[in-house]
Structure 1
């Protein structure tokens, strides 16, 4: 384009020189006057020539830029796009694999959830059955305890008799000495079915307990009542104690009142255990039945608050006792 402009300028300079020559010649001067071009027309022609050259140059430049851009794309972007396409394919494969595994995991979780539901249902059923069986077992245990207590209802336990004191015939020994130990039995024929000492695997210096079974339940009651009236009962310098014979479970329940009974005795309050394990207390001119050691402890707390107990604590105790009384924990005998 610059060459074209230079050529145009050279042509213009030649025209000027030629114009000067024409001006020197009359003929040429006359021709000049008939063929003269104004400056504005010349400038327009130059501008048009420049535009044409620039258009040609722009077309060539566009072709060059297009070719360069295409070459750059082919050299740089195409390999990268191919690499991205390959990575994308791998990513798609990985996503597909993960999706498949996720679906398998979902199915596995659903199966596990189903099994868990079945297991929970079975556990609830087993728990209900276990509760029912436990209830039946407790009922059967209570019946067995009752049967055992009834079977022992005519038995008496004799504690404190020295070993071998009874000789070879324990029944004859008891018949000969019961009326001596318990004066209220004098003249009463006591019928004893069998008598023996309880086996104990423990090495102890205490004499083993003697258990004897009476044929008549009234004789058993007479022995226990007479022993309480004649207390303390002595034989050869040893103190003898007479107790009812109960099952292991009933004995355990009755022993649970031992500490409370000692506290009541220290306070001068008379207490007595009723069958199977109910504490009978005479206090304030009324008789009270306490079904458990906890009830007995609350009763003690109500009649003798601990030293240093604040008025607020005593009020709380009284409120508790009021609640317990409303729930018939204290059951006065009618």
Structure 2
């Protein structure tokens, strides 16, 4: 038995040597593979880094282009905003000036309207006063007066109104308008009486007689008033009709369209509103 042990040791050593060699081969193979992997990784890393750098460079270029474009757009926008701001300021200044001008114009127009109203009232009053001796004779057929118009009208008034004497007239003529056709109403006479009291007598007689006629045709005598004054007086028609039914009532007009009323046992009152007078 002792002689067999060395033999077994000698046979074991080659097996261990073979295993060691295999381990060395594996180690060298692993080192080779690791080196190749490292190189491959380094190469891949380089490629990836290169591509990333290229991509980053492209992105940076795009960002720079976009930034430049945005900068240009923002600059243009700033210029536009500044320009619009300047124009807006000019418009505000102009609007303020226009507003001030309009306010001044409104005040001026208001003052002028007040002045025009006063002047219209004065002009109408003066025109009515210039007619205070005038009367209108309505209903005389055309061409009845001949050439002696004043004489014809004076005789007609004396006859129709039953006056003691012929009234003295300064002027008498038809209204200045186109001669009417045969089927149209005749033009009225505009007559200026020399004395105011005679003019009042003529109007009073015409009111008292009420129905006047010439050659079978109805005629009428009225004060010669402006259209505005005649319209204002006509508005008191219902009031006058009521007053004629009141015994002892007196009423008359004073310019401009001031209606005066005196009732029995009452003081004189003056009205410019027909409704108030009627009430």
TM-score, with length taken from structure 1: 0.62
- Distance, in Å, in 1 between the alignment partners of 2:252 and 2:37 is 125
Three-state SS of the structure 2 residue aligned to 1:242 is strand
Long gaps (5+) in structure 2 = 17-30, 245-250
Three-state SS of the structure 1 residue aligned to 2:242 is coil
Match of 1:146 in 2: 125
In 2 relative to 1, CA 23–123 (structure 1 residues): closer, same or farther, beyond 3 Å?
farther
Match of 1:308 in 2: none
Q: What per-residue deviation string (whole Å, max 9, x for no partner) do you get for residues 121-147 of structure 1? A: 111111211111111111111111111
- Distance, in Å, in 2 between the alignment partners of 1:22 and 1:219 is 188
Q: Which has the higher contact order (CA 8 A, sep 6+)?
A: 2
Matched positions, count? 251
- Distance, in Å, in 2 between the alignment partners of 1:63 and 1:211 is 129
Match of 2:26 in 1: none
TM-superposed CA distance for 1:63, in Å, is 4.1
Match of 1:242 in 2: 221
Match of 1:232 in 2: 211
1:176 maps onto 2:155 in alignment: yes
1:198 maps onto 2:198 in alignment: no
RMSD: 4.0
In 2 relative to 1, CA 181–85 (structure 1 residues): closer, same or farther, beyond 3 Å?
same
- Distance, in Å, in 2 between the alignment partners of 1:135 and 1:172 is 46
1:269 maps onto 2:242 in alignment: yes
In 2 relative to 1, CA 206–61 (structure 1 residues): closer, same or farther, beyond 3 Å?
same
Q: What per-residue deviation string (whole Å, max 9, x for no partner) do you get for residues 245-299 of structure 1? A: 11243234445x3xx84xx49xx7357773433567999x99987645xx64xxx
Long gaps (5+) in structure 1 = 1-19, 33-51, 297-329
Three-state SS of the structure 1 residue aligned to 2:91 is helix
Match of 2:57 in 1: 78
TM-superposed CA distance for 1:72, in Å, is 2.0
1:207 maps onto 2:201 in alignment: no
In 2 relative to 1, CA 222–55 (structure 1 residues): closer, same or farther, beyond 3 Å?
farther
Contact 2:125-2:256 at 8 Å conserved across structures: no
